[in-house]
Amino acid sequence: MLHLPTLHQSYINPAYQTQKKWEVSAASVGLDFQLGDLIVSDFIRKNDEGVNIISLDKLASSIGQNNELGMSGSFNSFDVALKLGGMTLTGGHAINYEFATQLNPDLVKIAANGNADYVGKTVELGMPTSGTVYQKIYLGLAGKVANIAWGARLGYLNGWHHMHTEKMSTKLTTEADYYDLTIANDIEIYNAGIFEYNAIDDITWIKGVNDYRTFFTANHGFSVDLGIDVKFNENSGIFASAQNIGSITWADRSQKLTNNKTTTLRGVDLEKIIDGEDNSSLEDTLLNAFSMEQENLEFSQKIAPRYNVGVYFLMADTKFSAIFNLRQLSDLNQPSVYLQASKPILSWLDLGVNYHWREGVPFNLGLLANAKLGPVNIFGACNNAWALLNPSKLNGLSGRIGASIGF
């Protein structure tokens, strides 16, 4: 999250006005992680062979009240800004990726220790999840009226992978008297390009974009980005933007999967097992309990929007800005506040610091840099610099690096 007078400002606000005849930005990358209350080092350990593994028991005890996990980012392969009189024409291509889920501590505890602690109880084991990968080709126009700059972009969206759980409820009841297990499902999953489901024991996972016949799929959509920037004077102003307002219609390998079954497991026949006889009733019952009704159909789904409101000013050669950012990944809202300050250290180098507030982020002091090497501009920012030195503090790590050239 940067607010500097260079082309990557257009990531934040479509109202960006280039002061040069043209600018080109290439291959900038941004990532953002949210791990709730989790600290990676609390549940990852080395086994006897020295391999890092996840301890389910420790993971279960590490899950706190904030159990929301999320990851989002973008790879902007190129951006172009061209000055046409008093207008700025922008265009480019990006690949966006989004993932969100809510960890279920009961599910992890049962996976780690079994269900003995839940005898006589009914527990919810569902874990809502969503994920999307899509490319965006966009074209925008920005102008200025008096002290108000405005901008709008229209984007064509082409989806690669998507999955979301419209309903994800699995209630497990462990009867106290005979230890019977009852599984009651209310599941509705929409999937396109993640896997192909034919049966519970016949699932084909799609490895990547290479599994498609072409770079573009049959999953199409559109989005709109809007922005405004109001200057109080040459050194201060406010801005607001709304980005990725749109949806994709998923048609390539798109499926709706449902399960509304209630199944009771009454154990296994120990005599048959002791006698060496084949007893597949338990396996068959489990497969039946989690099998899905599969329907091939198209469906539309919104992409994750992003909203920004900010203020900026220049004082004693130091640039200050404060930005409120809200992203919506499925049902997971991610409000953030960024406080930034930067100033010229050398004639060609600006350095600064930023403070990023978001619930559950343990340490959020970051760094930013902007180097001007003739017509080349190189920039980078990180909102949780400690995570670069200590991967166990990955939560809250976000940032972007890239470069642009302009004349």
List the chain pLDDT tens, one digit each, 407 residues.
444 444 445 556 888 888 888 888 876 777 676 666 666 666 777 777 777 777 777 777 777 666 777 788 888 888 888 999 889 999 999 999 888 888 888 888 888 888 888 888 999 999 999 999 999 999 999 999 999 999 999 999 999 999 999 999 999 999 887 778 899 999 999 999 888 888 888 888 887 665 655 688 899 999 999 999 999 998 899 999 999 999 999 998 899 999 999 988 876 666 665 665 555 566 677 788 889 999 999 999 999 898 989 899 999 889 898 888 887 766 666 777 888 889 999 999 999 888 877 766 656 788 888 888 888 888 887 777 666 666 555 556 677 777 777 77
Q: Which two tokens stand for residue 146?
A: 């008096």
Q: Which two tokens stand for residue 266?
A: 């009454």
Task: Write the DSSP symbol of residue 119.
Answer: B
**Residue type at position 168:** M
CB atoms within 10 A of CB 305: 17
pTM to 2 decimal places: 0.84
Which residues have CB under 8 Å from 323's CB, separation 6+? 1, 3, 12, 308, 309, 310, 337, 338, 340
Which residues have CB under 8 Å from 117's CB, separation 6+? 109
CB atoms within 10 A of CB 302: 16
Looking at residue 249, its pLDDT comes to 97
Task: Write the DSSP symbol of residue 219.
Answer: -
Q: How far apart are CA 292 and CA 259, in angstroms?
A: 5
**Residue type at position 44:** I
Which residues have CB under 8 Å from 241's CB, separation 6+? 12, 13, 14, 15, 225, 226, 227, 228, 307, 308
Task: Write the DSSP symbol of residue 11.
Answer: G
Looking at residue 58, its pLDDT comes to 75
Which residues have CB under 8 Å from 211's CB, separation 6+? none
Looking at residue 85, its pLDDT comes to 87
Task: Give per-residue burial for 172-187: e unless 16+ CB within 10 Å, then b.
Answer: bbbeeeeeebbbbbeb
Q: How far apart are CA 351 and CA 116, in angstroms?
A: 56
Is residue 24 within 8 A of residue 406, CB to CB? The reply is yes
Looking at residue 185, its pLDDT comes to 95
Q: How far apart are the first and last CA of the chain?
A: 24
From the list 313, 391, 325, the residue with the least C-alpha distance to 356 is 325
What are the backbone angles phi and psi of residue 295, rounded to the nearest 5°? -135, 125
CB atoms within 10 A of CB 46: 9
∠ Cα 301 302 304 (to 5°): 135
Which class for 19: exposed (0-12), middle (13-18), buried (19 or more C-beta within 10 A)? exposed
User: CA neighbours within 13 Å on the CB side: how many for 365?
Assistant: 4
What are the backbone angles phi and psi of residue 66, rounded to the nearest 5°? -90, 95
Q: How many residues does the chain have?
A: 407
Is residue 289 within 8 A of residue 183, CB to CB? The reply is yes
Looking at residue 250, its pLDDT comes to 96
